[in-house]
Structure 1
Amino acid sequence: MTISELNDENTALAYDAMRALRPHLTSEDAFVSAVRIQRKEGYRLVASFDPDGRVAAVAGFRHMTNLYAGSHLYIDDLSTLPSARKQGHASALLSWVDEEARRLGCAGVHLDSGTPRHDAHRLYLSSGYVIPALHFSKTF
């Protein structure tokens, strides 16, 4: 498999894989536009390609610094096409993000995951992640 960072010109390649995690993304154009806006806030997108050159999985992340974790990469999105699951794409993306965090001098990598995503949790735990806290949110 090949891992490559996507830019504005090829962001649309990630749409199907991202939609597997974010079904509210109902159009490729809206997805590309949303990513373009997030890029202004430091969001980056990296993809894992299958042997036929199609995006099988994608990770969206950003470099952050805050008091509790210092400098770190935060993974906003990690998604694999259902047909490409259990083939190592997500693990390869996590390893790529780990290396990028080290390259940038970060103290670590953080992410949040929905409570029913048990397969994802097994992957994170087997990749060295721990569960240090619960995430709370409030919507208006």
Structure 2
Amino acid sequence: MLGQIEVMQHLYPNLTLEKYEFYLQQMIPHNYKQLAVFDGEICVGLSGFWTAMKLWTGKYIEIDNFIVHSDHRSKGIGKVMTDYIDTKARAEGCTAIVLDAFTGNFTAHRFYYNQGYVPKGFHFIKMLDEDGLT
């Protein structure tokens, strides 16, 4: 996962290797995994995902940090990634796949609608330390 920091930095330009390594050390024991799509030796798509349990869904997968390199968009890479996660979720007996997309990211909204995702509610946050954000 550390080897793909440059792809992750497309989403989080200020992410350092040290912070990324620390976060991964904290996340991996809690079922965090990554899916990567390569064109030869180049990673062109990357997404984290978690398997967990909630009262309203039971077992679910959450997609986290979904990235397709801007030079490789509209080539079906995102669909390959969501199809893989869909297959994995079904195989693991999940009842749902969830994700967050920022309210102003209309390109992502259109993509997720086209993949069968619909908004179910609002994800509210109370920011406690904006300086701590990546």
Which aligned pairs between 1:1-140 and structure 2 lie closer than 5 A? 11-25=1-15, 27-50=16-39, 52-140=40-128
How many residues align structurally?
128
Deviations 1:3-54 (A, max 9, x none): xxxxxxxx123212221122231x234323322321011100110111x221
Identical pairs, percent: 27
- Contact 1:44/1:61 (8 A) holds in 2: yes
Using the alignment, how far apart are the partners of 2:85 and 2:58 within structure 1? 17
- Structure richer in helix, relative to its length: 2
Q: TM-score, normalised by structure 1?
A: 0.84
Using the alignment, how far apart are the partners of 2:99 and 2:119 within structure 1? 10
Query: Alpha carbons of 1:70 and 1:116: their partners in 2 closer, same or farther (altered >3 Å)?
Result: same
Matched position secondary structure for 2:2: helix
Using the alignment, how far apart are the partners of 2:4 and 2:104 within structure 1? 24
Using the alignment, how far apart are the partners of 2:27 and 2:18 within structure 1? 14
After the TM superposition, which segments of 4 or more aligned residues of structure 1 sit over 3 Å from their partners? none
Using the alignment, how far apart are the partners of 2:21 and 2:44 within structure 1? 17
Matched position secondary structure for 2:30: coil
Root-mean-square deviation (CA, aligned residues, Å) is: 1.3
Which sections of structure 2, spanning at least 5 residues, go unmatched?
Answer: 129-134
Using the alignment, how far apart are the partners of 2:13 and 2:24 within structure 1? 15
Which sections of structure 1, spanning at least 5 residues, go unmatched?
Answer: 1-10
